[in-house]
Chain A
């Protein structure tokens, strides 16, 4: 029928007309038909593949990959690193299992530390006030200031070769050298006052302790050299009802350490000092420690009221502390009442207690103490960003990253991660002396200078960092003590020459001395220390706050709720 109608229409001379309706029908049919073919799926698939190859998609650098041993230089914990390098750039970071202290472990931030050198907040230019300046202008301004009056030099990582340059300069110039100590180092200050042994030469002998009582110190969350205690805790029966190492965490909140500790003792925030006095009273009352110790002025009842624990609970805690010895008390900061508990327990200079690891270490002057008159203040890049000197002076601040508003007249770009040669002295809290050298593994893409280089360029008589490291290596070799941890562990007397020793250190090996467990030192308290300021509650960033976080850290606090977001710098 349709055939005849069409034929008739043609025969009648009428042209076949395509209507709008025909077009719609054809379009709908084509669309439906296309869905039955692989074309749309293939197109979608191809778009997906093409989108990986757009020119704006970043691609990894190419080149032969090699692995180098080094150390993390972000903070003074000095963890051992294995750095994967490609084409001269660091492309991956992992812990070095041969390091005797960090034992292959790192804090979460270290795994993305190699990305920090390209952080958007990288300080790329010399800044004077709110305008850009040059290195020459900065040098001339500093030279002028140092001629006009004393210069205070502030360091955040004492004991390095660079620290020696800073200290020598301050000494020559008639200024002073100050240190912003980590909480781990500050916690030893009371012992320094009582015994005269410098805080920087003391450490905790965790390896031989059987009970660790932590007053708010985040022992399992980045405290000290992260791998040291976490590995020890894990290997000593974590999760067992009676582990070989009992970790008692005294904390006002269920912190990460409290959550995984053998026991968590919940107290009121800021009552650590009061509880320490109460605990001392309970130890003496129950004759759990020698009776000749000074008695705290605070009664057990007063301590109980302040800490929010019953008197019987404090007595029970005292019994728990001495149930498995040696017992060691770790303070979050420099609270003398908490430190005095170690004196009471006889932990000073004994196995499983607080032991000296080095000789010849000088006591440091805290940067927080009154600075007095100063014409200028020079702040090393290792000083935490939030530290602001309270002094009317011209401030020259070195920093690799700009952490936001700060009081500094001059901001000077410092080398970033693994961009500078540095040595690594013993980390705070270690019971054995260690020494390592981290050479500059990657080249800086901007013009940078460390504070030590800056001073050496002004005063040619100052020894360079490289020279000091060289002489330190020679001194260590001459001592013929300890072991060298590289590809293999070798006693230092098996190392053939000082040259070989130096070469191995420069390739990332670490020298470690023996823990001085037998060097007992006397400490007698005349009276129980007075209660000091309350310590703040634990947060994940209070131990060490980097100026900026690696972008990948957002996986921990933005793309998951595992961690609290970092506090913004004011």
Chain B
């Protein structure tokens, strides 16, 4: 099996409902702690609100889901990790974070140009009994380590197991869909193999409307965005005038 899993997110379709954030947290047993804030919380997928900077009826707003970009080249977090707790999986292209190896030094958080990494400050906790509602396929999140999106790796494991039971070497693409993709009520998030030229997602990634955030850094992120609106595409580079309008969502 060799794939380069990635996404194309159609920004024009995103309504900022937050279903992807909720589905991500529920799937990955991310706790909601009363003391967590926007600075200290754990949101492996975060939807940010952006605007074109105008006022009145000409003002436009859009929502951009931000998560680990799964950089393919010179992956910044991999380069700085002293523990080899981060690596790019050769077979899938997924940037993996191994919580058991992580020291919590947070170099990777500093290195990540997308601010897509979060430090887990607290032991996971739920109201009594609520642990029965946790996903049995995923461990609870450890305290003291850095967390990020792993493209719902547990689902990839399940798909592999299913394929193995059926005596197949390759997984059925329908069996491996990350939770955010499944949850999107407007089908704005498209997931697939960017390495397969025939995959619809790969074709979409090469459309004129597609763009990547901070592409000039040369880290080859595997998360693409797409928009018909020029002001949204202009946000891809931070020096554009519109980018200064970006608000934390």
Check: A383 CB closer than 8 A to any chain B CB: no
Is B47 in contact with chain A by the CB < 8 A criterion?
A: yes
**B46 located at the interface, meaning its Cβ lies under 8 Å from any Cβ of chain A in the complex:** yes
- By the criterion of a CB under 8 Å from any partner CB, how many residues of chain B are at the interface? 78
The stretch that binds B, out of A159-167, A228-236, A348-356, is A228-236
Q: State the Cβ distance, A249 to closest chain B Cβ, in Å.
A: 11
Hey, what's the 0/1 contact readout for B23-53 against A, CB within 8 Å counting as 1? 1011101101010111001110011010000
Q: How far is the CA of A241 from the CA of B227 in the complex (A)?
A: 12
The reply to whether A60 and B135 form a contact with Cβ atoms under 8 Å apart is: yes
List residues of B (58-103) whose CB comes within 8 Å of A's CBs: 59-62, 83, 99-103
Q: Is B130 an interface residue (CB 8 A)?
A: yes
Interface bracket on A: 35 or more
Main secondary structure, interface of B, reads loop
Residues of A within 8 A of B131 (CB): 58-61
19 inter-chain pairs at a CB distance below 8 angstroms, sorted by A residue, are A51-B144, A54-B123, A58-B126, A60-B135, A61-B131, A87-B132, A92-B26, A105-B184, A107-B19, A107-B185, A109-B22, A114-B133, A230-B185, A234-B188, A239-B228, A239-B229, A259-B16, A552-B32, A562-B47
Check B127–A234 contact: CB distance below 8 A.
no
Residues of B within 8 A of A57 (CB): 123-124, 140
Whether A44 lies near B103 (C-beta < 8 A) is: yes
Residues 146-189 of B, flagged 1 when their CB comes within 8 A of A and 0 if not, give 00000000000000000000000000000000010011111110
A61 contacts B136, C-beta separation under 8 Å: yes
- Asked if A541 is at the interface (CB within 8 A of a chain B CB), the reply is no
Determine whether B15 belongs to the interface, using a CB cutoff of 8 Å to chain A: yes
> Is the C-beta of A2 less than 8 angstroms from some C-beta in chain B?
no
List residues of chain B with CB within 8 A of the CB of A61: 131-132, 134, 136
Please pick, from B13, B41, B83, B227, the residue contacting A558 in the complex, using a CB distance under 8 A.
B41
* Contact of A118 (CB < 8 Å), options: B34, B41, B129, B135: B129
With both chains docked as a complex, state the minimum distance between the C-beta of B200 and any C-beta of chain A, in angstroms: 15
Given contacts A118-B130, A231-B187, A558-B38, contact A52 B229 (CB under 8 A): no
B137 interfacial contact with A, CB 8 Å: yes
A559 with B57, Cβ < 8 A, contacts A44-B103, A58-B125 known? no
C-beta contact mask, A238-262 vs B, less than 8 Å → 1, else 0?
1111000000000000101101100
Q: Is the CB of B133 within 8 A of A240?
A: no
Q: Judge whether B38 and A561 touch: CB under 8 Å.
A: yes
Check B17 for interface membership: any CB of A closer than 8 A. yes
Most chain B beta-carbon neighbours within 10 Å: one of A233, A241, A563: A563
Interface residues of A in 84-112 (CB under 8 A from B): 84, 86-87, 89-95, 104-109, 111-112
Using known A-B contacts A48-B145, A227-B185, A556-B18, determine if residue A562 contacts B140 with beta carbons closer than 8 Å: no
A551: Cβ under 8 A from any B Cβ: yes
- Kindly state whether residue A292 has any CB partner on chain B within 8 Å: no
Say whether, besides A58-B131, A63-B136, A65-B136, A554 and B103 are in contact (CB < 8 Å): no
Interface flag for B215 (CB, 8 Å): no
| Interface pair A118/B103, CB less than 8 Å apart | no
0/1 interface trace, chain A 219-230, chain B, CB 8 Å (1 if under) = 011100011001
CB pair A231–B38 under 8 Å, yes or no, is: no
Contact, CB under 8 Å: A553 / B249: no
- Contact call A240/B135, Cβ cutoff below 8 A: no
Assess A120 versus B127: contact at CB under 8 Å? Given A108-B18, A259-B62.
yes
Asked if A115 and B136 make an inter-chain contact with CB atoms under 8 angstroms apart, the answer reads no
Whether B185 contacts A226 by the Cβ 8 Å rule is yes
- The residue in A95, A107, A120, A556 that gathers the most chain B C-beta atoms within 10 A of its C-beta is A556
Asked if B216 is an interface residue, CB under 8 A from chain A, the answer is no
Residue contact B187 to A106, C-beta cutoff 8 Å: no
A91 with B185, Cβ < 8 A, contacts A48-B144, A108-B22, A562-B16 known: no
Q: A118-B127, A118-B129 are in contact. Are A221 and B22 (CB under 8 A)?
A: no
How far is A65 from B154 in the complex, measured between Cα atoms in Å? 14
Residue of A238, A259, A560, A563 near B41 (CB, 8 A) is: A560
The docked-state distance in angstroms from the alpha carbon of A197 to that of B131 is 48
User: Binary interface profile of A, 543-561, with partner B (CB < 8 Å = 1, else 0)?
Assistant: 0000000111111101111
> Contact between A556 and B21 (Cβ–Cβ < 8 Å)?
yes
Which residue of chain B has the shortest Cβ distance to A218 in the bound complex?
B15
CB-defined contacts of B43 to chain A, threshold 8 Å? 555, 559-560
CA distance A177 to B143 in the complex (A): 53
What is the bound-complex CA distance between A94 and B126, given in angstroms?
Answer: 21
The answer to whether B18 and A552 have CB atoms under 8 Å apart is: no
A266 beta carbon closer than 8 Å to chain B: yes
User: 9 more A-B contacts (CB under 8 A) besides A51-B144, A117-B133, A264-B57?
Assistant: A54-B123, A57-B124, A57-B140, A58-B140, A60-B139, A118-B130, A220-B17, A552-B30, A556-B18
Report B-chain residues with C-beta under 8 Å of the C-beta of A238. Answer: 10, 12-13, 186
Provide the residues of chain A in CB contact with B12, threshold 8 Å.
238-240, 260
A567 interface contact, C-beta 8 A: no
Is there an interface contact between B19 and A106, defined as CB atoms closer than 8 Å?
yes
Contact for A559 among B10, B41, B59, CB less than 8 A:
B41
Q: Judging by beta carbons under 8 Å apart, are A111 and B19 in contact?
A: yes
For A550, the chain B residues whose CB sits under 8 A away are 22
A51-B123, A106-B19 known; A91 vs B134 contact (CB < 8 Å):
yes
* Cα separation A105 to B183 with both chains bound (whole Å): 6
Contact yes or no, A111 B26, CB < 8 A: yes
Q: Which of B13, B32, B99, B183 sits near A106, CB closer than 8 Å?
A: B183
Residue among B36, B57, B136, B142 making CB contact with A554, cutoff 8 Å: B36
Tell me if B47 and A260 are in contact (CB < 8 A): no
Give the distance to chain A from B247, nearest Cβ to Cβ, in Å. Answer: 8
A128 within 8 A of B: no
A92–B27 CB distance below 8 A: yes
Let me know if B18 and A558 touch, CB within 8 A.
no
| A89 and B56 form a contact (CB under 8 A) | no
Select A48's contact among B11, B41, B100, beta carbons within 8 Å.
B100
Q: List chain B residues, Cβ under 8 A from A558.
A: 32, 36-38, 41
Are B249 and A562 neighbours in the complex by a CB distance under 8 Å? yes
Which residue from A52, A240, A445, A556 sits with its C-beta under 8 Å from B228?
Answer: A240
Interface centre among B14, B36, B128, B132 (most CB of A within 10 A): B132
User: Chain A CB within 10 Å — which of B61, B99, B101 has the most?
Assistant: B61
Is the beta-carbon distance between B15 and A260 smaller than 8 angstroms?
yes
In the complex, A119 has a CB within 8 A of chain B: yes
Q: B56 and A52: CB pair below 8 A? A: no
Bound Cα distance A233, B17 (Å): 14
On chain A, the residues within 8 Å of B22 by CB distance are 108-109, 111-112, 550, 552-553, 555-556
CA distance A560 to B46 in the complex (A): 7
Establish whether residues B57 and A231, one from each chain, have CB atoms under 8 Å apart when the complex forms.
no
Minimal beta-carbon separation of B61 from chain A (angstroms): 4
In the assembly, what is the distance between CA of A93 and CA of B23, in Å? 8
